[in-house]
Amino acid sequence: MALIYIASPYSKGDVCENVRYACLSGDAIVAKGHQVFIPHLYHLWHIISPKPYEEWLRISRVWMSYCDALLKLGGESVGADLEVAEAKRLCMPIYYSLEDVPDLTK
């Protein structure tokens, strides 16, 4: 079992749809027998207690260091691109689609 970090667009386009997509992707990862970290869930925290963009990136980087792999979902995203660069620096496996994530239930 791996703890997989989801990196995908958040602020580009419809934020609520982006959060929804990240959560549904998290469901698919859990269904494959893994655990998931979804930084998009900071959305509610940001509504209650706004912080600068850089602070959210810093918080996410800390949590990423505890993860075993990263899933980069499609779409243009400066933040997700920075997360991919950090995953590479950490020598973390990177998946570029849900289909690439190993299914441990089979």
Confidence at 96, pLDDT banded by 50, 70, 90: very high
- Considering the entire predicted model, what is its pTM? 0.95
Could you read off the pLDDT of 6-62 as tens digits, one per residue?
999 999 999 999 999 999 999 999 999 999 999 999 999 999 999 999 999 999 999
Q: What is the pLDDT of residue 86?
A: 96
CA distance 51 to 66: 22
CATH number of 3-100: 3.40.50.10400
Which residue from 28, 38, 6, 39 is spatially nearest to 102, judged by alpha carbons?
28
Could you read off the pLDDT of 63-93 as tens digits, one per residue?
999 999 999 999 899 999 999 999 999 999 9
